Amino acid sequence: MSSNIQFEVTAPGKIILFGEHSVVYGKPAIACAIDQHTTLTFTESYCNNQDLNTIPCRIILPLINYSGMLTIHLDAKPTFSPTTYFQETLNKLNKNEPFLNELDTLSGNEKKTLTVLHFIFGGILSCYMKQLKNVSFTIGITSVLKLGAGTGSSASYCVSLVAACLAYVKFKINSNVEIQFDPLLDDFHSQSGDNLLIIEAFTDNISFSDGEKCLINRWALLAENFIHTKASGLDNTICTYGTMVQYTKLNSHKLLEAPELKILLIYSGIERSTGNVVQSVRTKYNDDTYQPILDAIFNSIGQIVNSAVNAIDQMAQNPLQELQQISVLQTLMDMNQGLLMSLGVSHETLDAIVAILKKFDLHAKLTGAGMGGYAICLVPPNIHKSKIQTCMQELKIYGFESNICTIGCPGVRIQTK
């Protein structure tokens, strides 16, 4: 076996500064990419598989203790519609029909995680590569992101998979490929607003175009829907594009000019599933007694996001106003945390973390789905180093590990070896 195409993809994790949960109900949110990444290593090998419609893959996922073989099945008549392909895969799974031998024997979480991988590689390669003979892949994915903690591990996983698959196509094709999307089947729009996407063959420039990022984001959202059931699209958008974004569901996103900001990430020690937490809010929302109250809470969080965007814009335009605007953001964080508590998505450990930080005049909120996972705290640029260190020590005494991260980092990237 001789190895051929080999590369690495990194996708950042994320924090939500303001607007988790309400974003699922159409309100705006602000998220930032962080300097903690998922790293995918892709290696192509030649093997003796003459079958044009299957690709044997070795998959190594240390974070879920999985290592094994998975056969990627290519669709002889691809739909070219990610949404249709997603629905077909979901229908097969929901009917509990035999799906793929290797997947059928796996436990719940492993099955979900590998189904996502098959969905992405099977779907994209069927559409854009058609037939592949005598190749096999090794795909290894590691991450410094904790699973189920609010820093977007699932979105980062999905984005890195889609980006790796698209990168493989771009390495493999000799000339550009034009993809015409059917607007009735799919709501894909390239940056130019039409339904034509050109996948550019990799030559010297090993990067993704705006249209390709749009495609990565689209497939990653569908993949996220396997893991979360119904994701807003915020997490995959920030993991794809990076920096800081203001996002409203179905209404695309706007990159914000992010000031240099540091965040303290504090881990509550509690792992939870984003899908379950989102479902618990949905159950309350579906109850007529609570729905008008939840609508009012979501509207208020939407207002908090608008004020935060304003403060961030002011900071970018006038650096002299930075401290004043940081103080506004801190107040908005307190308000957002209060509203998330009233939604029932905080946790006694998260409340304890917020209280410890308050002793140091610091302001914090949960980030991501809540009910565990991480809390975030804005680190004011003028804070004395010793104060933040004492605060981190105090958190440690209570059993909470914390670390400072930089926000506003770049999105998904490819590196050749």
Ligand X SMILES: Nc1ncnc2c1ncn2[C@@H]1O[C@H](COP(=O)(O)OP(=O)(O)OP(=O)(O)O)[C@@H](O)[C@H]1O
Ligand Y SMILES: C[C@@](O)(CCO)CC(=O)[O-]
Q: Are 168 and 126 in contact (CB under 8 A)?
A: no
For residue 301, the minimal CB distance to ligand X (Å) is 16
Return d(Cα 251, Cα 20) in angstroms, integer.
Answer: 16
Contacting residue, 261, 326, 369, 391, with ligand X by CB under 6 A: 369
User: What DSSP character marks residue 75?
Assistant: P
Smaller CB separation from ligand X, 39 or 307: 39
Which amino acid type is present at position 139? Answer: I
Phi, psi of 70 (to 5 degrees): -140, 130
What is the residue-wise DSSP string for 238-268?
HHHHBSEEEE-TTS-EEEE-----EEEEEE-
Minimal distance, residue 375 CB to ligand Y, in Å: 14
Q: Among 341, 394, 390, which Cα is nearest to 365's? A: 341
- Which of residues 9 and 155 has its CB atom nearest to ligand X in the complex? 155
Q: How far is the CB of 24 from ligand Y (least distance, A)?
A: 5
Give 141: exposed, middle or buried? Use CB within 10 Å, 0-12, 13-18, 19+.
Answer: buried
Q: How many C-beta atoms lie closer than 10 Å to residue 65's C-beta?
A: 7
Q: CB-based contacts of 23: which residues, under 8 Å, 6+ apart?
A: 16, 29, 232, 234, 247, 248, 249
x/- mask, ligand Y, residues 346-375, rule CB under 6 A, reads ----------------------xx------
Options 141, 245, 281, 350; binder of ligand X; rule CB under 6 A:
141
| Selected binder of ligand X within 21, 118, 228, 249 (CB under 6 A) | 228
The reply on whether position 153 binds ligand Y by CB under 6 A is no
CA atoms lying within 13 Å on the CB side of residue 299: 6
Query: Is 109 a binder of ligand X (CB under 6 A)?
Result: yes
Residue closest to 309 by CA, chosen among 29, 82, 14, 6: 29
Site string for ligand X, 258-297 (x = CB under 6 A): ---------------xx-----------------------
| 63 belongs to the binding site for ligand X (CB under 6 A) | yes
74 binds, among ligand Y, ligand X, none (CB under 5 to 8 A by kind): none
- Least distance (Å) from ligand X to the CB of residue 241? 16
Does residue 21 interact with ligand Y by CB under 6 A?
Answer: yes
Give the residue with the Cβ less far from ligand X, 19 or 150: 150
Of the candidates 265, 294, 208, the one whose C-alpha atom is nearest the C-alpha of residue 10 is 208
- What is the contact mask toward ligand Y in residues 206 to 235, using x (rule: CB under 6 A)? ----------------------x--xx-xx
Residue type (1 letter), 329: L
Please identify, using beta-carbon distances, which residue of 181 and 298 lies nearer to ligand Y: 298
Which residue sits closest to ligand Y, CB atoms considered? Answer: 232
- What tokens were used for 341? 């508590």
**Residue 232 binding: pick among ligand X, ligand Y, none (C-beta 5-8 Å cut-off by kind):** ligand Y
Pairing of strands 413-416, 402-406: unpaired
User: Which residues ranging from 30 to 49 are in contact with ligand X (CB under 6 A)?
Assistant: 38
Q: Please say whether the dihedral angle defined by the alpha carbons of residues 307, 312, 317 and 322, taken in this order, is positive or negative.
A: positive
Q: Does 93 bind ligand X (CB under 6 A)?
A: no
Look at the block and give the residue holding tokens 């493999």: 172
Residue 304: name its binding partner from ligand X, ligand Y, none (Cβ under 5 to 8 Å by kind): none
Q: Kindly state the DSSP code that residue 200 receives in the 8-state scheme.
A: P
113 in contact with ligand X (CB under 6 A)? yes
Residue 172 CB, shortest distance to ligand Y, in Å, is 33
Angle at 372 between CA 160 and CA 325, to 5 degrees: 80
Relative to beta strand 135-143, strand 66-73 is unpaired
Dihedral angle over CA of 294, 13, 326, 319, nearest 10: -130
**Binding partner of 234, given ligand X, ligand Y, none, CB within 5-8 angstroms per partner class:** ligand Y
Of 29-37, 107-115, 195-203, 398-406, the segment contacting ligand X by CB under 6 A is 107-115
Contacts with ligand X: how many residues (CB under 6 A)?
26
Q: Which residues pair with 215 in a beta bridge?
A: none
Least CB distance from residue 145 to ligand Y, whole Å? 12
> How many Å apart are CA 44 and CA 60, to the nearest integer?
14
What's the closest the beta carbon of residue 234 comes to ligand Y, in angstroms? 5
372 SS3 class = coil
Contact footprint for ligand X (CB under 6 A): 38, 61, 63-64, 109, 112-113, 141, 143, 147-155, 157, 227-228, 235, 273-274, 368-369
Please give the residue ranges that form the binding site for ligand Y (CB under 6 A).
Answer: 16, 20-21, 23-24, 228, 231-232, 234-235, 274, 278, 368-369
